[in-house]
Amino acid sequence: MFSKACEYAIRATVFIASESEKGNRVSLKQIAREIDSPEAFTAKTLQKLSRSGIITSTKGAHGGFHVLPEKMTEIKVSQIVVAIDGDTVYKRCSLGLSDCSEEHPCPFHSRFKPVRTGLQEIVENTNLKDLTSGLISGETFLKV
Amino acid sequence: MFSKACEYAIRATVFIASESEKGNRVSLKQIAREIDSPEAFTAKTLQKLSRSGIITSTKGAHGGFHVLPEKMTEIKVSQIVVAIDGDTVYKRCSLGLSDCSEEHPCPFHSRFKPVRTGLQEIVENTNLKDLTSGLISGETFLKV
DNA sequence: AAAATTAAGGACCGGTTTATCCTTATTTTA
DNA sequence: TAAAATAAGGATAAACCGGTCCTTAATTTT
């Protein structure tokens, strides 16, 4: 569904966002520990998120990653997905036809469409705040 | 979503099934042409489908691939998917947690669940007949 | 100013996926 | 019986993905 990099990206962003809500910056090391991901690989992913304006990074001692307050509701999961994997997950034909549409559908089109649309809707309508609340209240988890 | 091999597998099976309904066997060459896929690679995929009992192959002149009549309603899309990709597409946690459940959910769990379940339902409840009918009537397509 | 801390990023590696090519096995046709 | 047709399958290669390691850049602390 999502690539490994994208899974790490979403988990990392949710963790960074939740710590930002508490007023904390977090280091790569902390992130990798808390979301149980390979450190160096996660670093690459965080760089992409930073360049995409989803998270903010600061170098040096006491540096680290954080999410700006206004991003908490602005950033949708879809933006993370697009930054890492592109939008093919919730746009592409399930059978790989390059031009699959209502007028020229693959055999699976009508059945698959609600699934794809459902995915698109949840990633486009879920923001960071929506995901951090459960984490902060202890109802949801980022590892294991 | 599905791997390339799996996309070819579904398209190939639907084509073979639709020709079988008309009483025809089809060769690898025909299949690759009709679904617009690389011949040698498709051959490997067909071998897996054959070993999984989804399609039947016969060697020699006038040989080729076909689908047995009883398989037309017996075989569900899920069996093709499982034979090629395994069942992770519609079973795995969207954020990659190894143990994601109602009791220990990832932050995306509750939102993602209906999508995953929806996918599972369509692949488990769609059989070959369901997919060939549109193709035979000219409403659906297997390439471009 | 020097040392410590931290992110950025280049180079590299191994496995998997997607493919291609060639040989072998099997069956039918001539 | 020989030739043709056809699938099976081994060997190989290119691209991509997931991952590691090491150096560089930037910032803060001592």
Rounded to 10 degrees, what is the CA torsion of B40, B46, B47, B52? 160
Average pLDDT, chain B: 98
- At residue B58, the 3 state secondary structure works out as strand
**Is the separation of the CB atoms in B122 and A87 below 8 Å?**
no
- At residue B113, the 3 state secondary structure works out as helix
Complex confidence, ipTM: 0.95
pLDDT of residue B49: 98
Alpha carbons A134 and B54: distance in angstroms, whole number: 44
Strand D: residues with CB below 7 A: A 3-5, 8, 37-41, 43-44, 58-63; B 26-29, 40, 43-44, 46-47, 50-51, 57-65
Q: What interhelical angle do B77-85 and B109-125 show, nearest 10?
A: 110
- From the list A10, A96, A114, the residue facing B7 with the nearest CB is A96
pLDDT of residue A19: 98
CB pairs under 8 A between A and B: 104
Mutate to test the interface with A, among B76, B84, B106, B125 (most CBs of A within 10 A): B106
**Is the separation of the CB atoms in B49 and B9 below 8 Å?**
yes
pLDDT of residue B14: 99
Span A122-130, mean pLDDT? 98
Partner residues linked to B66 by β-bridges: B56
Is B11 within 8 Å of A143 when comparing Cβ atoms? no
For residue B77, the one-letter residue type is V
Is B105 within 8 Å of A139 when comparing Cβ atoms? yes
Confidence band, pLDDT 50/70/90 cuts, at residue A98: very high
Cα–Cα separations (whole angstroms), residue B57 to B20, B27, B60: 12, 9, 10
Confidence band, pLDDT 50/70/90 cuts, at residue A122: very high
pLDDT of residue B27: 98
User: Is any Cβ of chain A less than 8 angstroms from the Cβ of B114?
Assistant: yes
Confidence band, pLDDT 50/70/90 cuts, at residue A27: very high
pLDDT of residue B41: 98
Q: What is the CA radius of gyration of chain A?
A: 17
User: Is any Cβ of chain B less than 8 angstroms from the Cβ of A45?
Assistant: no
Alpha carbons A46 and A65: distance in angstroms, whole number: 9
Is A118 within 8 Å of B114 when comparing Cβ atoms? yes
Domains annotated on chain B, with CATH: 4-136 (1.10.10.10)
Span B23-50, mean pLDDT? 98
Alpha carbons A98 and B138: distance in angstroms, whole number: 18
Confidence band, pLDDT 50/70/90 cuts, at residue B79: very high
Residue A105's closest chain B neighbor by CA? B140
Span A40-69, mean pLDDT? 98
Please give the DSSP secondary-structure letter assigned to residue A144.
Answer: -
**Distance from CA(B42) to C1'(D15), angstroms, rounded:** 18
H or E, element range at B67: none
* CB contacts, 8 Å: B135 with chain A: 107
Beta-sheet pairing, A64-66 with A56-58: antiparallel
Backbone angles phi, psi at B65, to 5 degrees: -115, 145
pLDDT of residue B10: 99
- From the list B10, B95, B105, the residue facing A10 with the nearest CB is B95
pTM: 0.96
pLDDT of residue B37: 98
pLDDT of residue A54: 98
**Distance from CA(A25) to C1'(D9), angstroms, rounded:** 56
